[in-house]
Structure 1
Amino acid sequence: MSSKYPQTPDGRYFVARNRLWRCTDPRLSEDTRRLHVKALMKARRAVRSAQQHDDEHTLRQARQAVQEAKEALGERGLSGGRMEHRTKAVSLPTTAPMPTGGPRAPEAWCVVICTPLLLHR
């Protein structure tokens, strides 16, 4: 992930446009990641094409392909095993913009996120 966006301390999320986004699974090899990114871009182009042609059936299929690619990248869905969520607050660096888009915080700002916890059984 580029340093353009601040990340949470655990590295699982980054902040862009005042929202938290899940990062790609760092355990993926570069070749695997590249393969899934290509599939994601192809699916997004298919979504756009289906929207332009007003084709509901193809649009549903294309959106499902986007979902599958995002899950394969670890950006959506479960990242393996059973997941449980807990809420915790994390402090981001003082260089991060305020969530409201206002001036930078004097110290650091805190954002509450819901982090998935992998339960091993």
Structure 2
Amino acid sequence: MTAGRALRTPDSRYVVRGRLWRAANPSLAEPERRRLVAELGAARRAVAAARRAGEDEAGAHARVDAAKRGLGERGPVRWNDGAPDLNRHMAHTTNYADWHAEATAPKSGPSVTAGKEIAMPPRDKPEEPGADILPDTPTPASPGKPSKTESEHIEEEGEPFGDNFV
């Protein structure tokens, strides 16, 4: 998956942060799809403008809804194979669970970063618990005062957000 791009399922849904969403109807003619996408953008800007102005947003939200229905992202399903509408469901709790796990699993082997190939360590043994925790390092001291570790600071002055922080 490319950074910043949604993961696409084989049947034309997309996954954002693990949640399934309907993609635009692939059978829409390209000029109609472009028109609806432009209308959706304009409607979203109208929602933001109404919100900033403290005005009623209902009309702008209705325009967003109409554009999304036209694109096939909302409303009745466009497919007729009996598949359920899993819009907004978490992928790992649906029949896409195996596909999603495979599609998002970290890959071992060479990886390309900024045009340079780097070898990734094999993932055959799990990391030790706590390996990602930094040791208790001293915090910068004020002039003339010795450095304190985070633990010493908490012992003397309490938690950084106070004892009643929830």
Answer yes or no: same fold by TM over 0.5.
yes
CA RMSD of aligned residues (A): 3.0
Alignment partner of 1:15: what SS?
strand
**Number of residue equivalences:** 96
Indicate conservation of the 8 Å contact 2:7/2:14, yes or no: yes
Greater share of strand residues, 1 or 2?
1
Q: Which has the higher contact order (CA 8 A, sep 6+)?
A: 1
Q: Deviations over 1:76-115 (max 9, x none)?
A: 1114599x76476123262325xxxxx67x9xxxxxxxxx
Task: Pick the structure with greater CA Rg.
Answer: 2
8 Å Cα contact 1:36-1:69 kept in structure 2: yes
**With structure 1 as the length reference, what TM-score do the two structures score?**
0.65
TM-score of the superposition, structure 2-length normalised? 0.49
For structure 2, list consecutive stretches of 5 or more residues without a partner in the other structure.
87-93, 108-122, 124-166
CA 1:95–1:74 in structure 2 vs 1: closer, same or farther (change >3 Å)? same
User: Contact between 1:40 and 1:66, CA under 8 Å: does it hold in 2?
Assistant: yes
| Aligned residue in 2 for 1:92 | 99
SS where residue 103 of structure 2 aligns? Answer: coil
Question: Which residue does the alignment assign to 1:69?
Answer: 67
Residue identity over aligned pairs, in percent, reads: 34
Shift of 1:67: 0.1
> Which consecutive aligned stretches of 4+ in structure 1 deviate over 3 angstroms post-superposition?
79-82, 84-88
